[in-house]
A and B are shown apart, each in its own frame.
Chain A
Amino acid sequence: MPRFLSRRGFLITGAALGGTALVAAVGGAGYLASVDVDGLDGHLYGERAVLNAFVVIQPDSRVIVNVPKTEMGQGIHTGLAMVVAEELDIPFDDRISVVFPTEAHPAYSTWFNLLQIRPEEASGPIVWVGRRVLGQLGFIATGASGSTMGMWHPMRVAGASARHMLLAAAAARLDVPAADLATGDGFVRHEASGQHLSYGELAREAALLQPPDHPALKPASEWRIIGRSQPRVDLPAKVRGEPVFGMDIALPDMVHAAIRHAPVFGAKVARVVNEAEVRAAPGVRDVAVIDGQKVAVVAVSWWQAEQAASLLNIAWTQTEANGVTSAEMSARLKTALGSTEPYENINEGDVEAAIAGSTSPTIDATYEVPFLTHACMEPINATVLVRDDLVAEAWVSSQSPMAIRQGVARGAGLAGIEPISVTCNVTMNGGAFGRRSDQDVVAEAAFLAARHRGRPVKLIWSREEDIARGLFRSHAAARLRAALGADGLPMAYDALVATQSITQAIASRNLPFTPGPDGDRLSVEGLDKLHYAIPNRRMRSQHVPSHMPIHFWRSNGFSFNTFFTESFIDECALAARADPLAYRRALLRANPRHLAVLNRVAELAKWGTPMAPGRGRGIAIEECYRSVVAQVVEVTVAEDGEITVDRVFCAIDAGLVINPDAVVAQMEGGISFGVTTALMSAITLDAGTVMESNFHDFPMQRIADAPAVEVAIMESDEPPCGVGEPGVVPVAAAIANAIHAATGRRIRSLPLAITETNGERRRRTVLRRIAT
Chain B
Amino acid sequence: MVELIINGTQVTVETDAGKPLLWVLREDLEVLGPKYGCGIAQCGACRVLINGESAPSCVTPIGSVAGASVVTVEGLAQQGGMLSVVQQAWIDEQVPQCGFCQPGFIIATTALLEATSQPTDAEIDEAITNICRCGTYPRIRRAIHRAAAILAER
Contact = CB atoms under 8 A, between A and B. Distances in A.
A338 interface: no
Given A378-B98, A701-B135, A704-B125, A430 B35 contact: yes
A25 interface: no
B130 A702 contact: yes
A706 B137 contact: yes
A242 B81 CA distance: 12
A418 interface: no
Contacts of B70: none
Contacts of A378: 35, 37, 98, 100
A16 to B, nearest CB: 39
A236 interface: yes
Contacts of A234: 96, 99
Contacts of B87: 239-240
A664 to B, nearest CB: 9
A428 B138 contact: no
A406 interface: no
A235 B27 contact: no
Main secondary structure of the interface of B (DSSP, over half): loop
Contacts of A563: none
Nearest to A648: B138
B36 A247 contact: yes
A703 B125 contact: yes
A726 to B, nearest CB: 14
A463 B102 contact: no
Contacts of B132: 377, 672
Interface stretch (A45-53, A59-67, A692-700): A692-700
B137 A430 contact: no
A602 to B, nearest CB: 21
Given A303-B20, A668-B139, A72 B98 contact: yes
A460 B36 contact: yes
A155 to B, nearest CB: 22
A535 interface: no
Given A377-B43, A460-B36, A672-B136, 19 more contacts: A74-B97, A238-B96, A238-B99, A239-B90, A240-B33, A240-B74, A241-B33, A241-B103, A241-B106, A250-B32, A375-B133, A378-B37, A463-B40, A668-B138, A671-B135, A673-B135, A695-B131, A708-B138, A709-B138
A379 B72 CA distance: 20
A191 B77 CA distance: 44
A694 B73 CA distance: 25
Given A431-B133, A708-B138, A73 B97 contact: yes
A669 interface: yes
Contacts of B2: none
A706 B98 contact: no
A282 B129 CA distance: 34
22 contacts: A73-B96, A73-B97, A73-B99, A235-B91, A236-B91, A239-B102, A239-B106, A240-B74, A245-B100, A301-B19, A301-B23, A301-B27, A302-B23, A377-B45, A377-B131, A672-B134, A694-B38, A694-B39, A694-B40, A704-B125, A704-B129, A770-B42
Interface residues of A, number: 60
Interface string B29-61: 010111111111011010000000000000000
A523 B85 CA distance: 47
B128 interface: yes
Contact of B129 (A238, A376, A769): A769
A377 B91 contact: no
A661 interface: yes
In the A-B complex, the 8 residue pairs with the closest CB atoms: A672-B135, A241-B33, A430-B100, A73-B97, A73-B98, A238-B99, A241-B73, A706-B137
A460 B38 CA distance: 12
Given A240-B74, A302-B27, A377-B134, A463 B99 contact: no
A462 interface: yes
Given A238-B96, A696-B40, A303 B27 contact: yes
Contacts of B113: none
Nearest to B133: A377
Interface in A662-677: 665, 668-673, 676
A770 B137 contact: no
A429 interface: yes
B100 A703 contact: no
Contacts, number: 181
A668 B133 contact: no
B94 interface: yes
Contacts of A460: 36
Nearest to A248: B32
A694 B37 CA distance: 10
Interface string B116-154: 000000001110111111111111110000000000000
Nearest to B137: A706
A241 B74 contact: yes
A240 B99 contact: no
Given A303-B27, A672-B137, A702-B130, A247 B98 contact: no
Contacts of A73: 96-99, 134
> Which among A72, A75, A243, A703 has the highest number of chain B CB atoms within 10 Å?
A703
Interface of A: 72-75, 231-232, 234-236, 238-245, 247-248, 250, 256, 282, 301-303, 375-379, 428-432, 460, 462-463, 661, 665, 668-673, 676, 694-696, 700-704, 706, 708-709, 769-770
Contacts of B114: none
Contact of A706 (B27, B33, B102, B138): B138
A456 to B, nearest CB: 14
B38 A695 contact: yes
A189 to B, nearest CB: 33
Contacts of B5: none
A661 B94 contact: yes
Nearest to A283: B16
B131 A231 contact: no
Contacts of A243: 32-33
Contact of B134 (A250, A431, A463): A431
B101 interface: yes
B123 to A, nearest CB: 11
B65 interface: no
A240 B126 CA distance: 25
A702 B45 CA distance: 13
B126 to A, nearest CB: 8
A231 B20 CA distance: 36
Contacts of A238: 96, 99, 102
A669 B136 CA distance: 6
A43 to B, nearest CB: 34
Contacts of B106: 239, 241
B131 to A, nearest CB: 5
B91 A665 contact: no
A753 B80 CA distance: 52
Q: Which of B28, B87, B124 has the most CB of A within 10 A?
A: B87
Contacts of B66: none
A244 B40 CA distance: 23
B38 A463 contact: yes
A669 B135 contact: yes
Contacts of A247: 35-36
Contacts of A694: 38-40, 42
B83 interface: yes
A695 B73 CA distance: 23
Contacts of B73: 239-241
A302 B32 CA distance: 14
Contact of B39 (A429, A430, A463, A661): A463
Nearest to B126: A704
A623 to B, nearest CB: 22
B96 A463 contact: no
Nearest to A244: B99
Nearest to B131: A700
B83 A239 contact: yes
Nearest to B24: A303
Nearest to B16: A282
Given A231-B94, A302-B27, A430-B99, A670 B135 contact: yes
A669 B133 CA distance: 8
A379 B130 CA distance: 16
